Structure 1
C-alpha cells in the first residue's frame, strides 16, 4: 500500500509539474503572439533608450560648458557616442513594426546589428583610455594603442559590411550564421579588453602606495565599470551564440518581445545607464595631468 501511495503521489506530482509547464508555455506563446505585448515591450524599450540618450546628451552639454577650451576629449566622444547609439536604438524600436517586417532581411539585420557595433566602439573607447593610463603609469609606449583601436574597429566594420552586402545579394543561412558568430567574437573581444585592462588598472590602483579619497574613487569607478561591461558583453556572447543555433531564442523577430526586453535591458540599457551614472563627475575647470584631451 505504501508503494502504491508513493507511486500515486509521484505520478500526481509529475502531472502537476507537466501541467504547470504547459500553462507557462501557453502563457509564453500568448505573450509572444500578442500585439499589445509586442507594442508595449518595444515602445518601452524605445522610451528607455531615448531616456539614456537624453542623459548622455545632457551630460555632454554640461561637460562642454565646463571645459569648452579642451576640444573633443575622450569623455566628450564617449558621451556623444552614447547619445547616438541609444538614440538609434530608440528610433529602431519606436518603429519596430516596420523594422521587423521589412521584406529585405538584410535591411532588418543592419538596423538591429549596427547599433550593437556602435555600442562596441563606444565602450571599447573606455578600454583604450584605461590602456593609455596603464601604459603611462608603467612607462610603457602608448603610441600604438590608438592605431590599434582604430584598426580593430575598422576591420570589424569592414567585415560586417561585407557580410551584409553578401546577404543582400544572396540570402544564405550559413552566412547569416557566420554573421551571428562574428557578433559573438566581437563581443568577446570587448569582454577580453575590459577584463585585461580594467583588471590591470584596478590592481595597479590598489597597489598605489598613497591612500586618498581620489584613489578610492578611481578604484570604485574602474572596478564597477569593468564588472558592468564584462557582464553585459558576456550575456551578449551567450545569448547571440544561442540564437545562432536555436530559432526559439532568435532576437530578430517581432514575436519574442520578452526575450528582447531582457536581452536589450541587460546588455545595453542598464549597462549604459549605470556607466553614465558612475562616470557622471564633470572634469575640473582647468586642465590637469589626469585629464587627457584627444589630439
Structure 2
C-alpha cells in the first residue's frame, strides 16, 4: 500500500480488503507493539536511572541530568501509550481518536522530545559562548571566572528565597527553551481545537490543519538538527586543542550525539514531509497494510525518536559521586551537560573545556 499527499488526506493506490474489519493488518500490529515495547523499555531505563541518580545525592534537588532523564522518560512513555491506543482505537472504531484526541496524544510526546534536545542545545550554546568569553578576556582568567561565579551565586541565592526546592541554574537560554516549548504547546492545543471545529459544517479542513502542524514541526526538527551539528562542531574543535584522556572521551560523545541527531532528525523530517505517517491516526485504518508503511513507521518513530533518546541515556549513564551529609561535594562536569551545585567552589562551576583551557594558559610561558 502507498500513500500520496493530497489535501492532507490518506489515499490508497488500490483497494485492499483487511481480514479483520476496522483493525490494522498483522504486520502493522506487530510493528506498533514492537515500537511500544522499545519506548516502554527506554522509559523504564530513564526513570530507573533517575531514581538511582537521586538516591546517590538527594540533597542536590533537580539537576540537569535528572531533568534530561525525566523528559526522555516522559516522552518515551507518551510514545508507548500512543502506539497501544492506536491499535485499540482501530479495533474499537473510536471516532474521537481519528480527530483531535489522536492528534493530541500523537503531538505531546514529540513536544517533550523536542524540548529535551532544545535544552541540550542551550547548554552547548552556553559552553561555546563561555569559552569565547574566556579567550577574549585580557585580564586574569581565574579572576574573571570567580567574578562571574559570584554574580551567578548571588542571583541563585536571591531566587531561592522565593523557592522551596532546588533546581539547576536556569539561564536566559534555558528560559527561552521553556518559552518556546510553551508556545509550541499552545499551538498544538489551538490546532486540536481547529481540528475539532473542522468536523462541523465550516470551511476548516481538519486534515489540512494537522498537516500544517506536522510540516511545521518537521521544519523545527531540521533546524534543531542543524544547530546541534554546528555547535557540536564548534565544541569538538575547541576540545581538540586540549590533549587529555578525559577531554578526548567527551569530544567523541559530543561528536557522536551531533551526528546521531542530524541523521535521525533528517530521516524523520523527510518521512513527515512526503508521507502521512505522522497523521496515520487520521487515515482509514481498514486500508492500511503492507511492508511499505511498516518501514516508514520504523524510520519515523524508531530512528527519529527512540535512537536519539537511547543514545542520550547511554551517554549520561554514569552516576554522580555519592556525597555524605555535610561533606563538600565534588562537581561532575560533562561536555554536553554540566551538573554542579551552586554552593561549591567557584572553579567547580565551569565545564571541562574551560578548565582545560585555564590549565593550558597557566602552563604556557606566553
Aligning the two structures, in what range does the TM-score lie when normalised by the shorter sequence?
0.7 to 0.9
Residue in 2 that maps onto 1:242: 274
User: Structure 1's 35 and 289: CA in aligned 2 closer, same or farther, altered over 3 A?
Assistant: closer
Post-superposition offset of 1:292: 3.2
The answer to whether structure 1 residue 45 and structure 2 residue 35 are counterparts is yes
Post-superposition offset of 1:91: 1.7
What is the alpha-carbon distance in structure 1 between the residues aligned to residue 212 and residue 63 of structure 2?
36
Residue in 2 that maps onto 1:145: 173
Give SS of 2:133's match.
Answer: coil
Give the 5 Å matches for 1:122-271: 122-139=116-133, 143-171=171-199, 172=205, 173-207=207-241, 209=242, 211-243=243-275, 247=276, 251-252=280-281, 253=283, 254=285, 255=288, 256-271=293-308
Are the counterparts in 2 of residues 242 and 249 from structure 1 also a CA contact under 8 Å?
A: no
What is the alpha-carbon distance in structure 2 between the residues aligned to residue 257 and residue 230 of structure 1?
22
Give SS of 1:283's match.
Answer: coil
The answer to whether structure 1 residue 60 and structure 2 residue 94 are counterparts is no
Are the counterparts in 1 of residues 100 and 196 from structure 2 also a CA contact under 8 Å?
A: yes
Post-superposition offset of 1:154: 2.1
C-alpha distance after superposition, 1:78-114 (max 9, x if no partner): 0011111111111221232234553131211111122
C-alpha distance after superposition, 1:234-293 (max 9, x if no partner): 1121111112xxx58964344234421332111112222222112212223433273434
Aligned residue-pair number? 264
Are the counterparts in 1 of residues 267 and 304 from structure 2 also a CA contact under 8 Å?
A: yes
Are the counterparts in 1 of residues 331 and 341 from structure 2 also a CA contact under 8 Å?
A: no
Residue in 1 that maps onto 2:102: 108
C-alpha distance after superposition, 1:138-165 (max 9, x if no partner): 2289943122212222222222221121
Match for residue 284 of structure 1 among 305, 318, 321: 321
User: Structure 1's 205 and 284: CA in aligned 2 closer, same or farther, altered over 3 A?
Assistant: farther
TM-score, length-normalised on structure 1? Answer: 0.79
Are the counterparts in 2 of residues 53 and 86 from structure 1 also a CA contact under 8 Å?
A: yes
Q: Where do 5+ consecutive residues of structure 1 fail to align?
A: 1-24
What is the alpha-carbon distance in structure 2 between the residues aligned to residue 94 and residue 165 of structure 1?
24
TM-score, length-normalised on structure 2? Answer: 0.65
What is the alpha-carbon distance in structure 2 between the residues aligned to residue 103 and residue 128 of structure 1?
40
What is the alpha-carbon distance in structure 1 between the residues aligned to residue 244 and residue 28 of structure 2?
50
Post-superposition offset of 1:204: 1.7
Are the counterparts in 2 of residues 221 and 279 from structure 1 also a CA contact under 8 Å?
A: no
Give the 5 Å matches for 1:20-39: 35-39=25-29
Post-superposition offset of 1:166: 1.2
C-alpha distance after superposition, 1:201-249 (max 9, x if no partner): 2222123x3x111101110111111111121111121111112xxx589
Are the counterparts in 1 of residues 119 and 174 from structure 2 also a CA contact under 8 Å?
A: no
Are the counterparts in 2 of residues 92 and 99 from structure 1 also a CA contact under 8 Å?
A: no
